[in-house]
Amino acid sequence: MNTRESTKLDFAVDLEFDEILTNPILDIAARFWEEDRYEAFKVCYRSMRRIDDLVDNRKETGKAISASEAANLTRMIYAWLKSVQAGERTDSFQTEFLERLEKFAIPLWPWERLCQAMVHDLKCEGYQSLRSFLRYAKGAAVAPAAVFMHLCGVVRRDGRYAEPAYDIRRVARPLALFSYFVHIIRDFRKDLKSNLNYFAHDLLRQHSLELGDLREIATGGEIRPSFRNLVGQYRSFADYYRRSARNKIDEMAGLLLPRYQLSLEVVYSLYSQVFERIDPAHGMFSQGELNPQPEEIKARLQLTVDRFAAAKN
């Protein structure tokens, strides 16, 4: 895809989308940025993945986490956070990470929230209520999205990057939760097979479902009407945040340079592409059904870029 020809925008560069169509959506969107900002994105997200994987990889074993093991992992997480807060350059990666934080004026609170969420994940078996899940999502979803939103909005003034002209927590929340609810539905089979469940317990009870029922469905069992109703409810949550995200992106249009506006449009569009494939009444909720093929993603990207270019011309 030659984005220079298709967008007619000065910032557009030639991107070989065929090489990145299987990458995470945020990574695809961040490829529209200049190289040093994209590198900052990669370093920040790699640091977050390290923390997240520390917990997820342990939970995927399926073995119960003892109180002493949870306490040990908690100490490891907070020891890392404390070293970052103190600016300690413990290894080459942390040195690079701290340099990126400083250069782009990135606040530390997203990592503080993420660590709190992971510690909660260690100590709790699932989420007792939708409210507790949303509290967890402040760290697991909103915090990473806030870093993306921050990097969209920082501008260089007098040789230094200044913070965005908007509250990154407020603008990140709807897009983060839209994408997270889409992930829950799209990845539920894979997650359950890895002993991970993101459906709130109170909503399972509301639909007369238990965790065992989800595991049975995830491994090929009959999809019950009650589960379809649960998916329909989660799709309605995703739709609520989808519409809210659309409003926030539109509000931010005058606060961002075009390439960063376009990156948000790409995130919204590619998650919407998955959202549109969710069919609570008839779907099988498989990875093949809910994940667009590379050629479909490429077509959606082209459509998103062309529409953005037309609106700017």
CB-CB contact of 94 with 166 (8 Å): no
Q: How many CA atoms lie within 13 A of 206 on its CB side?
A: 14
Strands 160-162, 155-157: pairing kind: antiparallel
Does any domain span residue 250?
Answer: yes
Question: What pLDDT is recorded for position 113?
Answer: 96
Q: How large a percentage of the chain has pLDDT more than 70?
A: 93
- Domain count across the chain: 1
Does any domain span residue 152?
Answer: yes
Spatial separation of the C-alpha atoms in residues 65 and 94, rounded to whole Å? 28
pLDDT at residue 3 tops 70: no
Q: How confident is the model at residue 7 (pLDDT cuts 50, 70, 90)?
A: very low
> Could you give the residue ranges of the DSSP H alpha helices within the chain?
3-7, 25-30, 35-59, 67-85, 92-103, 109-123, 130-137, 143-153, 168-186, 188-193, 201-206, 211-218, 225-251, 258-275, 287-290, 294-312
Question: What pLDDT is recorded for position 22?
Answer: 60
CB-CB contact of 172 with 109 (8 Å): no
Residue type, 272: S
In the predicted model, what is the mean pLDDT of residues 219-237? 97
Question: What pLDDT is recorded for position 60?
Answer: 83
Question: What pLDDT is recorded for position 9?
Answer: 53
pLDDT at residue 5 tops 50: no
Does any domain span residue 16?
Answer: no
Does any domain span residue 109?
Answer: yes
In the predicted model, what is the mean pLDDT of residues 71-99? 96
Q: What is the pLDDT of residues 29-51, one digit of tens each?
A: 999 999 999 999 999 999 999 99
Give φ, ψ of 208 to 5 degrees.
55, 45
Helices 258-275 and 168-186: crossing angle in degrees, nearest 10, is 30
Does any domain span residue 170?
Answer: yes
CATH number at residue 218: 1.10.600.10
Does any domain span residue 115?
Answer: yes
pLDDT at residue 10 tops 60: no
313 or 8, which is more confident? 313
Does any domain span residue 15?
Answer: no
Radius of gyration of the chain (CA): 20
CB-CB contact of 110 with 147 (8 Å): yes
Q: What is the pLDDT of residues 16-33, one digit of tens each?
A: 555 556 679 999 999 999
CB-CB contact of 118 with 77 (8 Å): yes
CB-CB contact of 126 with 211 (8 Å): yes
Spatial separation of the C-alpha atoms in residues 307 and 304, rounded to whole Å? 5
Compute the mean pLDDT over every residue in the chain, rounded to the nearest whole number: 91
Provide the domain limits for residue 153.
Answer: 3-10+23-312
Q: Give 58: exposed, middle or buried? Use CB within 10 Å, 0-12, 13-18, 19+.
A: middle
Does any domain span residue 17?
Answer: no
In the predicted model, what is the mean pLDDT of residues 131-148? 95
CB-CB contact of 280 with 229 (8 Å): yes
269 or 63, which is more confident? 269
For residue 156, the cross-strand partners are: 161
Q: What is the pLDDT of residues 273-295, one digit of tens each?
A: 999 999 999 999 999 999 999 99
Q: How confident is the model at residue 13 (pLDDT cuts 50, 70, 90)?
A: very low
